[in-house]
Amino acid sequence: MRAVVQRVDRASVTVDGVIAGKIGRGLLVLLGVGENDTEEDISYLANKIAGLRIFPDEEGKMNLSAMDLNLEILVVSQFTLYGSVRKGFRPSFTEAASPEKGEDYYGKFSRELEKTGLTVQKGIFGAMMDVGLVNQGPVTILIDSEKTF
């Protein structure tokens, strides 16, 4: 699994002009599911993100997590995180999970995050979504459950 995690002041996802998910201060997580991902990847990534210390403490040092501050998380499915442009200019998505697996793991990942006690909002799997955000910092972290980066 791959995630782009952004520290935000606010974020929302809209589908057909209707807000599907909206948060205040917290994390926007763009989530990609790979064809070889397992349920262990779900747990690893959810725990890593919930505990990620990218919020400033009283001294301004990035030392606090979303769990420490009881913040919100907005999770948006994004299979294009598995797009490869190693050959040519058109992305290949052969490493992305099937839509069925992607939707299943997207739901399981969101529920795993909810187990931490955090409020989790979601987009709509497979929909054309408009994502809006105010990135605070800016702070953007890339996480891969295979630990390739």
The domains located in the chain, with CATH, are 2-144 (3.50.80.10)
pLDDT (tens digit, 9 = 90+) per residue, 97-134? 999 999 999 999 999 999 999 999 999 999 999 999 99
Mean per-residue pLDDT of the chain: 97
Active-site residue, from 79, 93, 121, 148: 79
125 is catalytic: no
Is 78 designated active site? yes
Which member of 14, 38, 55, 80 is catalytic? 80
Has residue 86 got a pLDDT over 90?
yes
Active site includes 79? yes
Burial of 79-104, coded b for 16+ CB within 10 Å and e otherwise, reads bebbeeeeeeeeeeeeebbeeeebeb
Active-site residue (options: 6, 55, 78, 109)? 78
pTM higher than 0.85 for the full model? Answer: yes
Please compute the mean of the pLDDT values over residues 76-100 and round it to a whole number: 96
> What count of Cα atoms within 13 Å lies in the side-chain half-sphere of residue 93?
11
Q: Please tell me the predicted confidence (pLDDT) of residue 148.
A: 83
